[in-house]
Structures are given as structure tokens and as C-alpha cells.
Structure 1
Amino acid sequence: MFNLAPVPVPDLSARVVLVTGAGKGIGAELVRILVANGARVYAGVFAGEAAEALPDAATVLTLDVTKQADVEAAIARIAAESGRLDVLVNNAGMITPIGPLADLASDALAPAFGVNVIGVHRMAIAALPLLRASKGVIVNAGTGAATTPMEGWTVYCATKAAMRMLTQMMAMELAPDVKTFFVGIPPTDTAMQGAIRQAGFNPISKIPQDKLVRPAVPASVMAWMCGPQARDVAEVLLDVRQEIFTNLMDLPA
């Protein structure tokens, strides 16, 4: 369904990167790619999470983006150990609860807003002094659900739409010192996609697993955005399927 391949990633040996939601899926793959290309990587994982194997060179942090203490401790450690932060990747995300809007208790929306919106803001504000000092970059992991309503995804669509606008506000108000981007990610073969298939709502749940994008594809795009060339990208709202990235992919004719 998606004719996509990983993009080449430049040398990142001078870059310090913090990735949230790094315990599995795209986040874990991103950490592996960043380390392989020389970056100093801080991998934020939730306490008690059954995380995937991460490279020994990555520094694993307990980081729940809904907890101010976790966020402040992570940034303080980065400042103490590395003295700088070049890129913040807000990859932590939450799609649940999935179900008809009329069946959702209003309070059930709060956790996803806490991760997908407030958590993104919390991370950005905490990291801002370091990012301003380094003329850094913020990469927010997005989705087409931010602009397209999907049955059963009230919470996910609403929170990602809010995150998309938050990205635009960050791009406006934090410039020129800090560049901010929203990178739309197509349906990818991760545990989140497994939850989508199990719930059975909307056409995304019907995509065969072998037709989903491999995690290495969006992870490589976000890794590319961790390089210094990202500051030359004029657009704020990006997508893995855009020419800026597909032109870099080694795709069959």
C-alpha cells in the first residue's frame, strides 16, 4: 500500500538528541538509527515499560511526559552530562480509548490529552533554554488523523489535531532560535497498529499487516530531521510521504 523506504541519515556525531516514547516501535527504532549514526541519544521510556532492546550507547531515562518531575529531571541530567540539547523528538503518543464518541466518558479523554498535547508542551518548555542555546529543533511525531476524522478515533484525532496546531504555534513563537516541525507518519507496523486492528474501527484497521510501513521508514525520516539540514526546511507541517523525503528514498522504478 505504501511504497516507502528508509532515507539515508547524515552523520550525527555532533548532535545531542532526546527522544520521548523511546521504549518501543518507532521511538525505539529511531534511537537505534540515531546511535548508529553517531548521535548522543537520551531515550525516554515509561517506568515499568517492557521496552525493546536499546543500544548500550543510548542513555535510558525514566520519562513520563505527564509528570513534571520526570521532565525536569531528564532535562537537568542532559544539561549536566552533555551541556547541550540539539533536538527534542516528541514521539510519545497515546491512541486509546478507541470507540464511538457517544460511548466515551468525558474524563476518559484526559490521559491522551495529557500525553499528546500537554506532554508535548511540557517537554518543549522544559527543554527550551537548552534548545535556544543550541539553535535547536523540535520534531513532533504526527499523523494524518490530525486532519482527517476517523470513526472510533475521537480521542486520537482530537489530540493530534491539537498537537498539530500547537506545533504551528511553537514554530511561530519560538523562531528563529528554535525550529519546530510536525512530521506526519503513515500507518506503521507497531503495537499501536495492533490495537487499531483489534478495535476494528475505520479502514485503517483493515490494512493487512504486510502492507503497513516498517518502523524504520518514519524513524529514518525523523533521524534525518535531527541533522543540521533540518533548519533549512521551510515547511512546518511535513509528512513522511512528501517529496522532500521520498526523493531521498531508494525506491524501485
Structure 2
Amino acid sequence: MVPSDDFRLSVQDASFAYPSADTAALTRVSFQMEAGEIVGLVGPNGSGKSTLIRLIFNLMDRQDGTILINGADHRSDIARMEAIYLPSDNELPEFLTGAEYLHVLAQLYRDSNCADESVVRAQFSSFGMDGRSGHLIEDYSHGMQKKLLLSSAFLLQRPLTVIDETLNGVDLDAVEVCKAEFSRMKARGGSLLLCSHDFSLLEEVADRVLILRAGQLVADLDTGAELANGGRLARSVREALDCEERA
């Protein structure tokens, strides 16, 4: 696979090993994502999912391989402006209000959408958070903080969005809002890498699902094909993992 600027995300032979570990966290992982594509990322705990995401966003120094975002090296300022990462934990500046946090992101990304009060209020309202944009983040519940993170991605509309288990802890109504936002993201050509253990969600929204095991990419499943053949995604993932373990 040759890295190409025709893809939203191109990962070629990415490898990484922690100094204290006996085995590599990632070994020659390669895949590409097209514009307007939603790709699921699954695997057992410790399979390398979060490590891969951190490498994509240059939060750790990759030791081998090439990672491009919209054709630009992932370490470049251009690439950083093209993508947004929502982590699994809620590491938010609790001394800011929700609106202030979004305003900071608007300045960082040079995007006025996050600073438009009417747009922000509408986004909060869609998540059932009417009147809370001016409240301190420290007063938000766990689920509300998750909704703020998700709102930042939906408002900024970057070409590439990566979500690492951020939907864990949000209510069912919010999940439905997210599904609608994912559809709009896809329609405008945005791409989403969604790390999740919610197979029913992935069946509904993902075009493909990547499976990691022990730091290696062991399968790239076409979700539509799996479902068309009468299969269930959870079963297909288990079968792929079992096959790799026996190999």
C-alpha cells in the first residue's frame, strides 16, 4: 500500500513499542480511509487501539512507518488543523464554561462555528442541555462532559474525526443525536474513525471495521457484506480473533 493524498487518513507500516514492554504495542499496521467513510476500530483490551490513535495525532513518537492526514504528515501543523480527537476520558478544563471551552477551540482551529452563540445553543439543545452552555464544566455530569466533547467535533466539522469510546456514558437520546450527526458528517465528506465495543452501533453506522489483536491488524471487515450474509458483527469479530489466535 502506497501512502496517498487521495485519502483522509493513510497509515502505512506503523509500529511502536513501549520501552518497558516485552512485545510491540503495534507492528506494521497499515490501512487507509476515504473521504466520507466511517470506519470502526475494535479489539481486546491491550490490542493497541488507543496507541494507534495517539500515534495518528502525534501524541507519541512513532518508531516506524508513515501516517498522513489529507496527504500531509501527521506531525505537521496542516494535519493538526484537519483532524480532531475525542479521547475516552474527560480531560476538560473545568474552570471554563462549556461555551468558553468551545470558543477556545474556535480560536485554535480558526473556525468561527464554535464561537457562534446561536449555533452553540442549538447544539446544546439537541443534547438536552438547554441553558447549560454558560455553566462551568466542573458542574457538568460525566455524561454532559461527554456531550460537550462530542459537540466540539460536530461543530468544528474537521475532515477527519477520531472518537475513542467517547459515547460510553451518554444516554440513549444522545446516541441517536450522534448517529444523525455521523450521517451529516458522512454526507459532507467528513471521515470518522470510531473506536467502540458497541457492535450494534457499528453495524448501523460503520462502512468497515478494523480488528486489532496484539498490536496487529488481523481483519478489515466490510460491514454491509457481513450483514448481507446473515451474519452479526460481534460474531464475525470473534471468529476473526479466534482464527488469528489459532494461526
TM-score normalised per structure 1: 0.35
Q: Indicate the structure with greater strand content.
A: 2
* The structure with more radius of gyration: 2
